[in-house]
Structure 1
Amino acid sequence: MIKTALRYMRLTIEIAQHPLHRKKPIRSVLNYYRWLASAILSPTRSIAIPYVEDSVLQWTENSGSVLISARYGLGEMNDMAFCLHLLRPGDLFCDIGANVGTYTILAACGPKCRTISIEPVPATFNLLMQNVYANDVSHLVNAKRIGIADATGTLHFTSALKSYNHVTVNATASTVEVPVFTLDSQCQDDVPNLLKVDVEGFEASVLRGAKTTLRNPKLLAVIIEIAEEHLTRYGSSVHQVHDELRSAGFEGPYWYEPYTRTLHPAGTGKERQFNHLFIKDMQSVCDRLTTSDRYQIHGSSI
């Protein structure tokens, strides 16, 4: 019981001290626990929680990324703020490894841009579509239940690991077979302005099948998850992913400061954990960042 109390105490402090909540820490904490209680008491174990602007996310017990959004507003604040500030109406955002759609809904309901949203696991894809329909953005979101790799074919994905499902070579009762395509084949008629890749270590394969897309000048930036322990699962490395992006004309990794709207070389601390931000046209990117509208999240603006 003491361990549980301490865990909730730490969580309460984290919520109160999050940058989006510092002006209204008590209200932010109370909101989270109110939503948590509502989700537990709901017969369906699902409720809609406020998100960016007037959007909502469907919070179910299988949506770990939505749980994080309920706590902090923006679970990956710097990268998500970068998306909000970079994108414009009419732009195209490509969300590879969309999960339940936290980035997809952010892009479609914040800057109201078009989105290609790719999620291979059927149960997770269904949650993604719940969020698309709940926000009435099906006209902006082209959701595809496929995988992205370096060649067309089929791959097996785990299906019982919630936000951590990934490509596997072992077909079991808890895996699903999914058709996979190259990103170039999916973007040959419409290249995105911003690309986000979060595929639990399979990033190098995604990039190898995206050489034409990556070299297109329309693509301004890439947000890519890079975790060494996940990459080694497929025989790749951080350096290999970085080299693939740099050979296509990108610079980085960078770290985005949303309140000053400035980009900084990523160091070796927490700002370089997991997601890495690569930029191609620095001047165009900076111009967009500094002239973007502000967006409302959990009663704060950014």
Structure 2
Amino acid sequence: MNRGRPVSTLVRFAKWQLKNRFQDEMIFNWIHGAKLAVLRGITGATGNIYCGLPEYVDTRFVIDTLKLGDLFVDIGVNVGSYTVPASKVCGVRTIAVEPDPDTARVLRRHIEVNGIGSKVQVVEAAIGANIGTVSFTVGRDTVNRVARSEGTNVRAVVVKTLDDILNGEIPRLIKIDVEGFKRKVFKGAASTLADPRLRAIITKSLDQDVLEILGRCFRQAHYDPDSRLIRHQKTEATHNSLMVR
């Protein structure tokens, strides 16, 4: 979103660098009436100040695809860079899943400043193949994840399955960012994945296990935000993989 606008981009960057030294929180006018309540050190939010939409192609797919009446599921929502556009810009209902309670507090602040509390259901849990608990890292901002081994800087979080959370509801679109936990997420979502009302999934890089699960109902594609067409050939760099039914 900074293309062709180097001066305004640098001014925005400089303003944030100056203001965050004197304010604990800055309300930032983001896109299409959406706002962010930005705190120092919250990189999931400051990236939006610097770049507009850091994951531009993927966020544009969400904005261009969702329409009133749809349900959007954001798994690993972080501070709401997908949830806020979905519910504020598109006006859809969102189920926002975030296991880290510190990050969930930032998310709830963004829900508050955008006035979308009636449209967003926050679920503080990890998503997996079975209901239970799991150790989760603390203090890593946007890269908190399921702990690989027991350590001192972890906390126990509740694990739920996606099928259990949805309880028969089917989203039009799912975005998932779970730092290497995708296979277990999809194993606990068999009913959701099989339902034809789920049209697409945005996920981080695909491994063979995940491709095997999703390949039964979905195929990989690429979104061109300029033409608003889904293509087989990649047209622009993207952080994630798009799977369409």
TM-score (norm 1): 0.77
Structure 2 match to 1:134: 113
Structure 2 match to 1:208: 187
Structure 1 match to 2:73: 94
Equivalent positions of 1:60-139 (< 5 A) are 60-139=39-118
Cα RMSD of the aligned pairs, angstroms, is 1.6
Structure 1 match to 2:215: 246
Structure 2 match to 1:278: 243
1:266-300 superposed Cα distances (whole Å, 9 cap, x missing partner): 55x9736x4100001xxxxxxxxxxxxxxxxxxxx
| Distance apart, 1:189 and its partner CA | 2.9
Tell me the amino acid that sits aligned with residue 91 of structure 1: D
| Distance apart, 1:225 and its partner CA | 0.8
Q: Which consecutive unaligned segments of at least 5 residues does structure 2 have? A: none
Answering whether residue 102 of structure 2 is matched by residue 153 of structure 1, we say no
> Is contact 1:98–1:104 with CA below 8 Å preserved after alignment?
yes
| Distance apart, 1:170 and its partner CA | 3.1
Structure 2 match to 1:54: 33
Answering whether residue 244 of structure 2 is matched by residue 265 of structure 1, we say no
| Distance apart, 1:169 and its partner CA | 4.5
Answering whether residue 156 of structure 2 is matched by residue 183 of structure 1, we say no
Q: Of 123, 135, 139, which residue of structure 2 is paired with 1:144?
A: 123
Give the secondary structure class of the aligned counterpart of 2:33: coil
1:108-141 superposed Cα distances (whole Å, 9 cap, x missing partner): 1111100000000111111111111111101000
More helix per residue: 1 or 2? 1
> Is contact 2:57–2:236 with CA below 8 Å preserved after alignment?
no
Partners of 2:140 and 2:233 in 1: CA distance: 30
Partners of 1:266 and 1:127 in 2: CA distance: 37
- Give me the identity figure in percent: 29
Partners of 1:62 and 1:128 in 2: CA distance: 15
Partners of 2:17 and 2:76 in 1: CA distance: 26
> Is contact 1:52–1:109 with CA below 8 Å preserved after alignment?
no
Aligned length: 245
Q: Which consecutive unaligned segments of at least 5 residues does structure 1 have? A: 1-19, 228-237, 281-302
Give the secondary structure class of the aligned counterpart of 1:88: coil
> Is contact 1:255–1:271 with CA below 8 Å preserved after alignment?
no
